[in-house]
């Protein structure tokens, strides 16, 4: 009599939240017995296409899987490429890279908060989250010229210098976001409805998190203080002071609170970086000497970089390189093998959302059907990033 | 069937001729323009955030660009929506789901393709896993960009509204 | 990066080299990356030793196709999440199998975090991981017919002049 108790529920590819994936849920009444994810609905074969494109053409290709967080993906790829080429960017370019990466982290976390809000049913937080995100996008547009896909970081440096009046406008923007975060606390984080839906739901213990290889704010909300910016610092992080946000409970509420705390720490990093930024060139000396003098004058007056001709045909020597950065959703690893031609021989990219897919099976078990969007949103899973 | 009325006899299929009469009446100018005005200002898209362009689509409904003032409300269930906005790349696995969702929507329905990947592949043009939307669905308006700015999406909605009110939209010819 | 952390990395790499002597074909170090080349028969033992040392998760599983030598190379990148000193070091575990009979023991019981990456390399290159609980399609559509996509014999269209 107990063979046919469970019913299979297909939460299909078209669903009212971010991105496409299918969840097969086995439901017994209102309790979910087991859940199996089925991914691959946005698989755009980035790894195979990278073997047919030149190294500088891979920069836009690598930004597209995770549109909400493009600068960190760009940065990871260029760090691996610079290890292969054996060059380093000058200090001013390292600081500019750090500032853009932190701005990206802020507006990616607002995106995650907004999508989580609408999954729980609070469309106010969706509207607030996306409105406050526009401030950081506008500042990024002043710096780079584009809203979301910057392609700002190139091997050897960055493409543009700081415009006039950037520091004052950034200070105003950061003060506005600090005031708004207090309103989020009152409306969403300390709201009794949110607390009843998120506290104690989807608890991830510390040993399981380490065993399954989880990364990002999901890991730090379970008590493990692992952050690539502290373990193996890159760019300007060795000279900047900030704290790693860690919580011990491991439930969905802890994951949301870790993200809000990371927004505050990112604002602290941006303020310090803008005060300490050194003067100097923004492109490495190896490439600066290949540019003719007339264009060098243009570069000094306008603050924009003209590409030397060699960038179209970069041929790194034979070898391999690994790089890792801390993207907004976790740790991102790039592994490039080069065989001396203008395209890589093998290109491997492991994104944080791909490493977090196993949480669907592990966390959504013995809970109610209404907990599925609460846990799904707190993981900040982005399907195009996982499928690449 | 035969029916008589005041000395006049009508011969023929009553339901068929009643339907033809109603169609003629609805297509007369005052009623048709009210019907097209109603459709144009209540275009509800179904939540089909395919790939990266979905982030810009969500920003279009957000407070800064706010297309809800034109009657554009993203809605959850396909059976109560009449616009499908294919944002971004359509992979093979997803193309089957796209056709199912399109068939569930009630008539009259419209399709817009957003982004360079929906037009002709975009940056993934030589991938073995993608499908061009124009091969499987009747697309009316294409929005170029990678990703298109939210102002461009708002402009496309205004263009679609104009097409509907002039009676040129493909989805209206049922 | 001060000199104390560089010394720590050197100590760790020396410890790894000593404990894996005899089981591997070759060990080399470059800054913070330790590369260990093993034969497929010794793979499980080396993995167990690394796990006892404190390396507790797999970052990625990569497989590369070398068509001239008719071999597939499988690479595991292993590091630590719990121990912040060991977390600076990445151990690269390399092994080779023939491409006509690409079978290799799976490391899912030792490192559960390699479950999904191994599935992905199975469908992309045709590798068979023996002992994996759920070896089936992950990213490609169910009705996909044809050779595994990331092999070099599978060509995609390119434009322009190839030089």
In percent, the amount of chain B with pLDDT more than 90 equals 6
pLDDT class of C163 with cuts at 50, 70, 90: very low
pLDDT class of B4 with cuts at 50, 70, 90: low
Which of A173-182, A289-298, B15-24, B75-84 is modeled with the greatest confidence?
Answer: A173-182
Can you tell me the mean pLDDT for A133-150? 90
* Domain-located, residue B49: yes
* pLDDT given at position A302: 82
* Domain-located, residue B70: yes
DSSP code of residue A160: B
In percent, the amount of chain C with pLDDT more than 90 equals 3
Interface of B with A in 33-52 (CB under 8 A): 46-52
* pLDDT given at position A179: 92
Can you tell me the mean pLDDT for A273-286? 88
In percent, the amount of chain A with pLDDT more than 90 equals 35
Q: Is the pLDDT of residue A271 over 90?
A: yes
Nearest-CB residue to A348 (from C33, C60, C140) = C60
* Domain-located, residue B45: yes
* Domain-located, residue B116: yes
Can you tell me the mean pLDDT for A87-104? 92
Can you tell me the mean pLDDT for B89-99? 87
Nearest-CB residue to C64 (from A232, A233, A337) = A337
Q: Is the pLDDT of residue C36 over 70?
A: yes
The torsion defined by the Cα of A97, A101, A103 and A104, in degrees rounded to 10, comes to: 140
Partners of residue A19 in chain B, C-beta under 8 Å: 49, 51, 54
* pLDDT given at position B71: 85
pLDDT tens per residue, range A297-343: 888 888 888 888 888 888 889 998 999 999 999 999 999 999 888 88
Domains and CATH numbers, chain C: 3-103 (3.30.460.80)
pLDDT tens per residue, range C94-139: 888 888 888 888 888 888 888 899 988 888 888 888 888 888 888 8
Partners of residue B49 in chain A, C-beta under 8 Å: 18-20
Q: Is the pLDDT of residue B117 over 60?
A: yes
C150–chain B Cβ distance below 8 A for any pair: no
Q: What residues make up the domain containing B145? A: 39-172
Which has the minimum average pLDDT: A1-10, A71-80, A123-132, B53-62? A1-10
Domains and CATH numbers, chain A: 40-353+370-387 (1.10.645.10)
* pLDDT given at position C1: 43
Question: Closest Cα to residue A17, out of A388, A386, A387, A372?
Answer: A372
- Determine if the pTM surpasses 0.80: yes
* Structural domain count, chain B: 1
Q: Is the pLDDT of residue A3 over 70?
A: no
What does chain A come to in residues?
388
Q: Which of B56, B57, B59 to mutate to test the interface with A (most CBs of A within 10 A)?
A: B59
Can you tell me the mean pLDDT for B156-161? 90
- Alpha carbon A299 to chain centroid, angstroms: 31
* Domain-located, residue B11: no
Q: Is the pLDDT of residue B3 over 60?
A: no
Listed as own residue / partner, the contacts of C65-73 with beta carbons closer than 8 Å and 24 or more positions apart are: C65/C99, C65/C125, C65/C150, C65/C151, C65/C152, C67/C99, C67/C151, C67/C152, C67/C153, C70/C98, C70/C99, C70/C100, C71/C96, C71/C97, C71/C98, C71/C99, C72/C96, C72/C97, C72/C98, C72/C99, C72/C102, C72/C125, C72/C127
Q: Is the pLDDT of residue C161 over 60?
A: no
pLDDT tens per residue, range B35-70: 888 888 888 988 777 777 888 888 888 888 888 888
* Domain-located, residue B3: no
Can you tell me the mean pLDDT for B101-130? 87
Q: How far is B65 from chain A (nearest CA, A)?
A: 9
* Domain-located, residue B20: no
* Domain-located, residue B80: yes
Q: How far is C30 from chain A (nearest CA, A)?
A: 11
- Enumerate neighbours of A (3 or more CB pairs within 8 A): B, C
pLDDT tens per residue, range A223-270: 889 999 988 898 889 989 899 999 988 888 999 999 999 999 999 999
Q: How far is B117 from chain A (nearest CA, A)?
A: 11
Q: In whole angstroms, what is the distance from residue A26 CA to residue A4 CA?
A: 11
3-state class (DSSP) for residue A70: helix
Q: Is the pLDDT of residue A77 over 50?
A: yes
Question: CB–CB of B51 and A127 under 8 A?
Answer: no
Rounded to the nearest integer, the mean pLDDT of chain C is 82
Rounded to the nearest integer, the mean pLDDT of chain B is 84
pLDDT tens per residue, range A10-49: 887 877 776 788 888 888 888 888 888 888 888 888 988 9
Q: In whole angstroms, what is the distance from residue A51 CA to residue A57 CA?
A: 11
Strand arrangement, sheet containing A330-338: A319-327, A330-338, A346-350
Q: Is the pLDDT of residue A150 over 60?
A: yes
pLDDT tens per residue, range A329-381: 999 999 999 988 888 999 999 999 999 999 888 888 888 888 888 888 888 88
Nearest-CB residue to C149 (from A48, A52, A233) = A48
- Alpha carbon C157 to chain centroid, angstroms: 29
pLDDT tens per residue, range C136-149: 888 888 888 888 88
* pLDDT given at position B11: 66
The complex scores an ipTM of 0.90
Query: Which CATH number do you get for residue B112?
Result: 3.40.50.12280
């Amino acid at each position: 009599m107990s063979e046919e108790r469970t019913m299979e529920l297909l939460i299909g590819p078209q669903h009212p939240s971010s991105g496409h994936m299918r969840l097969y849920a086995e439901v017994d009444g209102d309790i979910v017995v087991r859940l199996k994810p089925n991914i691959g609905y946005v698989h755009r074969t980035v790894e195979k296409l990278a073997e047919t494109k030149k190294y500088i053409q891979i920069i836009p290709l690598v930004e597209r899987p995770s549109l909400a967080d493009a600068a960190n993906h760009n940065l990871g790829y260029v760090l691996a490429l610079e290890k292969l080429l054996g060059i380093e960017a000058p200090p001013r370019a390292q600081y500019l890279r750090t500032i853009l990466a932190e701005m990206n982290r802020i507006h990616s976390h607002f995106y995650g908060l907004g999508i989580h809000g609408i999954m729980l049913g609070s469309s106010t937080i969706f509207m607030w989250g996306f409105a406050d995100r526009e401030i950081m996008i506008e500042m990024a547009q002043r710096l780079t010229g584009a809203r979301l896909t910057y392609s700002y970081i190139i091997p050897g440096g960055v493409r543009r210098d700081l415009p006039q009046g950037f520091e004052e406008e950034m200070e105003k923007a950061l003060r506005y976001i600090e005031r708004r975060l207090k309103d989020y606390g009152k409306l969403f984080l300390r709201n009794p409805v949110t607390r009843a839906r998120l506290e104690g739901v989807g608890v991830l213990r510390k040993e399981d998190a380490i065993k399954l290889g989880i990364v990002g704010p999901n890991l730090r909300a379970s008590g493990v203080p692992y952050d690539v910016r502290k373990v193996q610092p890159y760019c300007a992080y060795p000279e900047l002071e900030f704290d790693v946000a860690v919580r011990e409970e491991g439930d969905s509420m802890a994951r949301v609170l870790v993200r809000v705390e990371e927004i505050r720490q990112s604002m602290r990093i941006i303020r310090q970086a803008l005060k300490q930024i050194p003067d100097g060139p923004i492109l490495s000396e190896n490439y600066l000497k290949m540019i003719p003098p007339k264009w060098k004058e243009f570069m000094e007056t306008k603050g924009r970089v003209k590409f030397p001709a060699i960038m179209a045909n970069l041929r790194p020597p034979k070898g391999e390189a690994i790089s890792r950065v801390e993207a907004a959703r976790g740790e991102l690893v790039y592994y490039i093998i080069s065989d001396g031609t203008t395209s890589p021989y093998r290109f491997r990219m492991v994104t944080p959302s791909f490493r977090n897919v196993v949480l669907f099976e592990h966390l959504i078990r013995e809970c109610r059907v209404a907990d599925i969007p609460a846990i799904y949103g707190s993981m900040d899973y982005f399907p195009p990033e996982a499928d690449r | 069937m035969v029916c008589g009325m005041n000395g006049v006899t009508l011969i023929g299929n009553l339901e068929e001729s009643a339907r033809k009469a109603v169609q003629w009446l609805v297509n007369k100018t005052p009623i048709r323009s009210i019907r097209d005005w109603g459709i144009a200002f209540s275009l509800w898209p179904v939540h089909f955030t395919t790939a990266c362009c979905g982030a810009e689509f969500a920003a279009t409904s957000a407070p800064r660009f706010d297309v809800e003032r034109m009657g554009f409300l993203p809605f959850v269930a396909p059976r109560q929506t009449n616009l499908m906005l294919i944002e971004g790349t359509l992979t093979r696995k997803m193309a089957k789901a796209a056709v199912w969702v399109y068939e569930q929507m009630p008539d009259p329905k419209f399709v817009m393709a957003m982004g360079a990947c929906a037009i002709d592949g975009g940056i993934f043009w030589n991938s073995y896993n993608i499908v061009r939307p124009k091969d499987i669905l009747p697309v009316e308006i294409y929005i170029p960009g990678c990703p298109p700015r939210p102002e461009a999406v708002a402009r496309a909605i205004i263009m679609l509204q104009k097409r509907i009110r002039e009676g040129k939209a493909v989805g209206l010819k049922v | 990066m001060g000199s104390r952390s560089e010394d720590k990395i050197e100590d760790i790499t020396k410890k790894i080299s000593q404990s894996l002597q005899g089981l591997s074909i070759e060990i080399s170090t470059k800054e913070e990356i330790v590369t260990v080349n093993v034969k497929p028969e010794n793979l499980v033992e080396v993995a167990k030793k690394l796990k006892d040392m404190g390396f507790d998760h797999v970052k990625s599983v990569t497989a590369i196709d070398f068509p001239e030598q008719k071999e597939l190379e499988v690479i595991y990148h292993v590091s630590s999440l719990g121990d912040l000193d060991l977390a600076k070091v990445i151990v690269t575990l390399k092994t080779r199998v023939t491409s006509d009979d690409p079978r290799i023991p799976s490391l899912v019981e030792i490192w559960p975090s390699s479950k999904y990456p191994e599935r992905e390399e199975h469908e992309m290159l045709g590798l068979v991981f023996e002992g994996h609980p759920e070896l089936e399609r992950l990213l490609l559509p169910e009705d996909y017919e044809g050779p595994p996509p990331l092999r070099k014999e599978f060509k995609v269209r390119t434009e322009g002049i190839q030089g």
